[in-house]
Amino acid sequence: MSGTRTETGGLIDRAEILRFRFDGRDYTGHPGDTLASALLANGVRVLGRSFKYHRPRGVWGGWFDDPNAILDVGLDGNAIPNCQATTTPLLDGMESRAVNAWPSAARDVKGGLDLLHRWLGAGFYYKTFIWPDWHLFEPTIRRMAGLGAVDGKTIPDYVADQIHDFCDLLVVGGGAAGLAAARAAAEAGQDVVLVEDHADLGGGLFRRGGSIGGQSPAEWVAEQRAAIETAGGRILTRTTAFGVYDHGLVGLATDRGFARAPRLTRMRARRTLMATGALDRPLTFADNDRPGVMSLQAAAEYLGRYGVLVGRRIVVLSNNSAGQSAVAALRAAGAEVTEADPADGPIRALGGARLNGVQVGDRQLACDSLLVSGGLTPVVHLWRHAGGKLDWSETANAFLPGAAPEGMAAIGAANGTFNLQAALEEARAVALGKPPAPSASSYTIRPLWPEPGAKGRQWIDFQHDVTLKDIELAARENYVSVEHLKRYTTLGMAADQGKTSNMAGLAAMAAIQGRPIPEVGTTTFRPPFVPVPLELYHGAQHGQLLNPLKRLALEPQHRQAGAALGEYGGWLRPGWYGGKPARDAIRDEVRMARTTAGIFDGSPLGKIEVMGPDAAAFVDFVYYNTVATLKPGHIRYGFMLTESGAIYDDGVIARLGSEHFVISCSSSHVDGVEAMLEIWRQDGNDPDRIFIHDATQHWATLTVTGPKAREILGALVLDLNLSRDVFPHMSFRETIFAGTPLRIARVSFTGDVSFELSLRTAKAADLWAALTMAGADQGAGPIGIEALSLLRAEKGFIIIGKDTDGETMPHDLGFGGPRQKKKTAFVGDRGLHSEAANAPDRRQLVGLSVPEGSPALPTGAHLVTGDKPRSEGIVTSSYVSPTLERPIALALLARGAARHGEVLRVWHMGQVRAATVTPPCALDPKGARLDA
């Protein structure tokens, strides 16, 4: 036991005790603790195991700069994997365990893997498991080297809010510089937002200790906070700016920890100030990964913020002046501190999982904690996300912000201004848009970087087990670019994303190659700066809210009629009705529609109105078929094509007047057709002479189809002659029903007499009631979309996207007329005469019949012939026809139109069956039923 809780100090609430578990043992902590600070206070040293060698790992950092302590945490039956112990606030009842360790971090059974390290260097997996196949080994290796386990359960109410916000000035970081800047700007009248990822403001002040402006850090921070809020500034704590995106958008994650759902703020600020501070770098020496070796700044942080003294007997190794206040604070708290100069010779940490000393040159020093500082590295991630440049500073021995990205500035330690007074002055000036006064830095550092060839195992990346030798190996194998080095060795790919390892890694590469550090450069900084829950990105947008179903106005009536509702093309629609099994229900509905009539809710059918003086020429251009010659009161079936000539949609177009058309496109295709019309309307046309209005959801459509359709419609007592001579197939009438306009189209998707009745959605229930009542007298009733799909297949009518693919052209379906004869230009005209369009082996629509007694063919099966079969086509639709009492199918088949009568083999999942090519239409090919 080395870490202890001090008697006083810190921001924790000592009056309240929180109970929690780690690796099966009970501990206590206080509100204000993180999991890491509470475990350190309880004397726990080993909080994790490294990724590859399963070496014991203790806490290195004080906040997001820790690569070692990664825990699976549970609370109230909910679990979140891979929580960083150093940033996860402690809550009462937390259950935690170290990832990648069993049964515990302290006694991990795979710890023995470390003995094999000589054979497990960088690139080991690529070189060893290449033969015979990586995939043989992958599952085992992934189980052995891993992070936390996902339990697969959804946490109730864990739904992220997503907020769009705006401000004049966003200050990232609530340390001394950030607070000073936010106050200056807010008091000057700017709309200021200050974000800080700790629960408390103050940042590095609690590490530094001492006084500021004659006040204690806590008093000074409270005063700044009050001043900012009085001036109208907003302060968001527990909020991390995790990325800067295009056009200066800053992503803010609030509560990315536990127990509360995270919140995403998309912040648009006129200016962003980066006051993100600086991180302490590790020193690279033999066995520098031992638990008990810790960042000096982090030790100061645990003391100042959490009241935890990490050790009693401490050796400090530091090459810079920033740690002086920390040393003083540790001594004041009662620790025995020995300072050693890291330049005095080779360094080696002594002891095993329990550190007991350090060798520096010839000196051997006993200690329970070894606090090291390799110099301060400004946190410049957001700067680089935004495209800002970095300049190497010889005096600071670090990359500092250089040329600024638009709308951004850096202040304080993030800008290399490590002196507190200078940082405050700089912050106040920059906040008001003034240049900061130059100031002499009190920070001194002697360069101390990894030495290639040094003895012992010297860790660069603690979590991913990348040592100095691995970097030397990578250099020998010519992975010398930092981006290659990273991917070959996994340097910087750990959960901390190189916050502790990147500088040492690239400095090692620079030393190996004898190049200056700035020439080697850094890897790309990419968002997110810290791990954020995926929940943040989708928030409430999942399931029904991501892709809401469109609902029918008559849904209550369908439910009352016993409809089996399902999603069809984005709509919730009746698949069939009644309590029977689907197959029986669909069969009975088809038979009813063929003998009496079916009543079908076709409301999702597209109803796009095109109006205006240029409407006729416009629809003639967007349609494959000639529409200009269509007379008012009539309807034409046709296709819309893409410019490559492929069919985009099929449907009917009705002409209501000389300047008024209604396009009835496929139910699932309305949005796409409307967009296509809108694009052409504005491209090459005068948009003030053509008007497009999608009225699909404003009109309900009910279809009556079957031999008794005319009788059922007659019962509605409409002011309309329904006789076939006066109201023939493919004509259109407008009348009145129950005081509201009713549009009736005589079109048929079933091959039987059909009337499509459309009226205002608000009146749909009246029409449904009238039709079903009249239908009942004739033995007719509702049919679902499954029955309709079968009825149309009996007639060989296609469904776009099912019986066609992205290459099908109209002449493949037997509609070659306009391709040869249409005189005016239309969308896709040139594409219909390409080499591909004229190819002799194009796949054409056919029907298939099977030998008597055979079951229906599988949809998607391949059609093959000959000794060396290759697919000549596929089955696109297949049913057992209740009307014909035999299986029917539609298919796309190479040269199919000329192959009627040919017997083919149908191959599916290794099974082969026989089928005969037929015309697509299997029922009433002469169309007698249509004119009945």
Partner 1 sequence: MQLFPCPFCGARDEREFHFMGEAGKTRPDTQQPVSDADWAAYLYDQRNDKGRVREVWMHLPCREVFGMQRDSVTMQVLGTTAFRKAGA
Phi, psi of 314 (to 5 degrees): -120, 135
Among 643, 734, 777, 931, binds partner 1 (CB under 8 A): 643
Min separation Cβ 245 and partner 1, Å = 5
Contact between 868 and partner 1 per CB under 8 A: no
At residue 505, the 3 state secondary structure works out as helix
| Count of other CB atoms within 10 angstroms of residue 825 | 10
Give the shortest CB-185-to-partner 1 separation in angstroms. Answer: 23
Our finding on whether 685 is near partner 1 (CB under 8 A) is: no
Contacts of 619 (CB under 8 A, 6+ apart): 610, 627, 628, 653, 661, 663
CB of 405 to partner 1, least distance (A): 10
The residue within the footprint of partner 1, chosen from 95, 555, 829, 924 (CB under 8 A), is: 829
Residue from 548, 684, 853, 901 touching partner 1 (CB under 8 A): that is 684
Residue 627 CB contacts under 8 Å (≥ 6 apart), including other chains = 616, 619, 620, 636, 638, 653, 655, 661
| Alpha-carbon distance values, 930 to 140, 592, 775, 890, 924 (Å) | 66, 16, 19, 21, 9
User: Does residue 831 belong to the site contacting partner 1 (CB under 8 A)?
Assistant: yes
CB 495 within 8 A of CB 70: yes
Give one DSSP letter per residue of 441-453, joined into a string. Answer: ----B------TT
Nearer to partner 1, 218 or 249 (CB): 249
Handedness of CA 227, 232, 237, 241 (dihedral sign): negative
Of 332, 294, 334, 284, the C-alpha closest to 316 is 294
| 268 forms part of the interface with partner 1 (CB under 8 A) | yes
Give the nearer residue to partner 1 in terms of CB position, either 506 or 677.
677
> Beta-carbon neighbour count of residue 736 at 10 Å?
12
In whole angstroms, the minimum distance from the beta carbon of 546 to partner 1 comes to: 14
Q: Is 245 near partner 1 (CB under 8 A)?
A: yes
Six-digit token string for 455: 């003895």
Q: How far is the CB of 249 from partner 1 (least distance, A)?
A: 5
Query: Which residues between 647 and 676 bind partner 1 (CB under 8 A)?
Result: 675
Determine what percent of the chain falls in helix, strand and coil, rounding each to the nearest 5.
25, 30, 45
x/- map, 113-152, partner 1, by CB under 8 A: ----------------------------------------
Strands 550-551 and 563-568: unpaired
Angle between helices 482-489 and 502-513 (to 10 degrees): 120
DSSP 335-360: -EEEEE-GGGS-EEEEESSSEEEEEE
- Report the C-alpha gap between 320 and 374 in whole angstroms: 7
What's the CA gap between 832 and 828, in Å, rounded? 6
Residue 777 interacting with partner 1 (CB under 8 A): no
Given candidates 219, 830, 912, 931, which one binds partner 1 under the rule CB under 8 A? 830
Q: Alpha helices of 607-669 — where are they, by DSSP H?
A: 615-622
Left (φ > 0), alpha (ψ -120 to 50) or beta: where does 832 sit?
A: alpha
Binding of residue 687 to partner 1 (CB under 8 A):
yes
Nearest-angstrom CA–CA distance, 668 and 686: 29
Residue 361 binds partner 1, judged by CB under 8 A: no
Q: Is 270 in the site for partner 1 (CB under 8 A)?
A: no
Closest CB to partner 1 among residues 286, 827: 827
Question: Smallest gap, in angstroms, from Cβ of residue 834 to partner 1?
Answer: 7
Distance CA 461, CA 477 (A): 19
Residue 678 within binding range of partner 1, rule CB under 8 A: yes
Q: Please, which residue, 370 or 627, has the CB nearer to partner 1?
A: 627
CB 667 within 8 A of CB 572: no
Angle between helices 176-187 and 420-431 (to 10 degrees): 30
Site string for partner 1, 198-237 (x = CB under 8 A): ----------------------------------------
Closest CA to 174 of 215, 263, 234, 258: 234
Spatial separation of the C-alpha atoms in residues 258 and 342, rounded to whole Å: 39
Beta carbon of residue 244, minimum distance to partner 1 (angstroms, whole number): 11
> Min. distance of Cβ 829 from partner 1 in angstroms?
5
Strands, DSSP E only, in 463-569? 466-467, 550-551, 563-568
Closest to partner 1 by CB, 135 vs 821, is 821
CB of 247 to partner 1, least distance (A): 5
Distance linking the first and last C-alpha atoms of the chain:
96
Nearer to partner 1, 825 or 914 (CB): 825
Q: Rounded CA gap, 626 and 630, in Å?
A: 8
State yes or no: residue 908 binds partner 1 (CB under 8 A): no
541 binds partner 1 (CB under 8 A): no
Shortest distance in whole angstroms from residue 383 CB to partner 1? 16
- In angstroms, the CA 470 to CA 488 distance is 9
Nearest residue (CB) to partner 1, 265 versus 750: 265
Q: Which of 549, 825, 884, 912 binds partner 1 (CB under 8 A)?
A: 825
Q: How near is the Cβ of 452 to partner 1 at its closest, in Å? A: 37
- Per-residue binder mask for partner 1 (CB under 8 A), 373-412, x = binder: --------------x-------------------------
For 835-872, strand residue ranges (E) read 843-849, 862-864
Q: Which of 133, 519, 683, 885 binds partner 1 (CB under 8 A)?
A: 683
Nearest distance in Å: CB 18, partner 1: 39
Judge whether 11 and 250 are in contact, CB under 8 Å: no
Span of 166-174, 544-552, 684-692, 713-721 interacting with partner 1 by CB under 8 A: 684-692
- 677 versus 716: smaller Cβ distance to partner 1: 677
Burial-class residue 346 by CB neighbours within 10 Å (0-12, 13-18, 19+).
middle
Of the pair 678, 805, the CB lying nearest partner 1 is at 678
**Of 338, 481, 644, 865, which lies in the binding site for partner 1, with binding defined by CB under 8 A?**
644
CB of 624 to partner 1, least distance (A): 13
- Is residue 616 within 8 A of residue 601, CB to CB? The reply is no
Give the whole-angstrom CA distance, residue 806 versus residue 308.
67
Answer yes or no whether residue 266 interacts with partner 1 by CB under 8 A: yes
Confirm or reject binding of residue 682 to partner 1 (CB under 8 A): yes
Which residue, 126 or 245, is less far from partner 1 as judged by CB?
245
According to CB under 8 A, which one of 835, 852, 867, 885 is a site residue for partner 1?
Answer: 835
Amino acid at 580: K
**Is there binding between residue 688 and partner 1 (CB under 8 A)?**
yes
Stretch that binds partner 1, among 712-720, 821-829, 882-890, 902-910 (CB under 8 A): 821-829
Count residues binding partner 1 (CB under 8 A): 24
Closest distance to partner 1 from the beta carbon of 570 (Å): 17
Of residues 326 and 619, the one with the C-beta less far from partner 1: 619
- Cα torsion 24, 26, 27, 28: sign: positive
Among residues 387 and 814, whose Cβ is nearest to partner 1?
387
Stretch that binds partner 1, among 334-342, 426-434, 699-707, 831-839 (CB under 8 A): 831-839
Per rule CB under 8 A, is residue 249 in the interface with partner 1? yes
Q: Which residues bind partner 1 (CB under 8 A)?
A: 245-247, 249, 266, 268, 387, 643-644, 675, 678-679, 682-684, 687-688, 824-825, 829-831, 834-835
